[in-house]
Chain A
Amino acid sequence: GAVVSQHPSRVICKSGTSVKIECRSLDFQATTMFWYRQFPKQSLMLMATSNEGSKATYEQGVEKDKFLINHASLTLSTLTVTSAHPEDSSFYICSATLHHVGSGEQFFGPGTRLTVL
């Protein structure tokens, strides 16, 4: 149980275009989903916290108008990278926590490798 999927797993796009990444909890309802960015050989950097039905909370330094997050249901959150540029190329990973269970464990998706040309 507690499986999180992400789609797509890999995407290559041209500079200036927008890319949408989906994060789904497959077999549980997720109170909260988190979006991370991970550059090569670096740690996971939290971008934003997403709660179903409310606006996402962005970490300091993360542009909310560039990284649009929508958490429309307890099983789906989307991250849209708008007007992507080469410096946005990274590994984007989502995670989710279980609804009504206060363990704190985060279940991670497999990640999306974004390459902006």
Chain B
Amino acid sequence: GENVEQHPSTLSVQEGDSAVIKCTYSDSASNYFPWYKQELGKRPQLIIDIRSNVGEKKDQRIAVTLNKTAKHFSLHITETQPEDSAVYFCAAGLGGSEKLVFGKGTKLTVNP
């Protein structure tokens, strides 16, 4: 089955800096890669996703890149703000109504 590795487990940056979180996956059939942000005690919220027919996607300060050959994808947050502080999870799956496998999460702290 699918296995998703996520690094780093914790990341601390200064406000205004960029943050990068990386994930690798094992199943070459996976074609849907979402990123979720979860604040303490809250539900995960989708912040961006990418499908295998696209190499990069951007939404304002957030971007995701995908390298299908290497089976890795990354989340990039630019101009970080304190409110970006949260736990971020990557996931991989087949899309549609298929299940997602989640990485272990990255706790991002943005220091003012």
List the interface of chain A (C-beta within 8 A of B).
Answer: 31-32, 34, 42-46, 49, 51, 91, 93, 97, 102-106, 108-111, 113
Q: A102 touching B95 by the CB < 8 A rule?
A: yes
Q: B89 touching A44 by the CB < 8 A rule?
A: yes
Residues of A within 8 A of B93 (CB): 104
Residues of A within 8 A of B103 (CB): 43
Number of A-B pairs whose CB atoms are under 8 Å? 59
Point out the residue from B42, B89, B97, B98 that lies within 8 Å of A43, measured CB to CB. Answer: B89
Q: A104 touching B96 by the CB < 8 A rule?
A: yes
Closest Cβ neighbor of B31 among chain A residues: A104
Q: Mark B30-49, 1 if CB is under 8 A from A, else 0.
A: 00101010000111111001
Q: A105 touching B105 by the CB < 8 A rule?
A: no
Q: A93 touching B49 by the CB < 8 A rule?
A: no
Residues of A within 8 A of B49 (CB): 104-105
> Besides the contacts A93-B44, A108-B44, what 20 more A-B pairs have beta carbons closer than 8 Å?
A31-B97, A32-B97, A34-B100, A42-B104, A43-B89, A43-B103, A44-B44, A44-B89, A45-B102, A97-B97, A102-B95, A102-B96, A102-B97, A103-B32, A103-B95, A103-B96, A104-B93, A104-B97, A105-B49, A113-B41
B61 in contact (CB, < 8 A): no
- Give the dominant DSSP class at B's interface: loop
Closest Cβ neighbor of A59 among chain B residues: B99
Output the least CB separation between B25 and chain A (Å). 14
List 14 A-B residue pairs with CB atoms under 8 Å apart, sorted by A's residue number: A31-B97, A42-B104, A43-B89, A44-B44, A46-B99, A93-B43, A93-B44, A104-B34, A104-B98, A104-B100, A106-B46, A108-B44, A111-B41, A111-B42
B62 in contact (CB, < 8 A): no
Q: B95 touching A104 by the CB < 8 A rule?
A: yes
Residues of B within 8 A of A91 (CB): 41
What CA separation (Å) do A113 and B43 show in the bound complex? 12
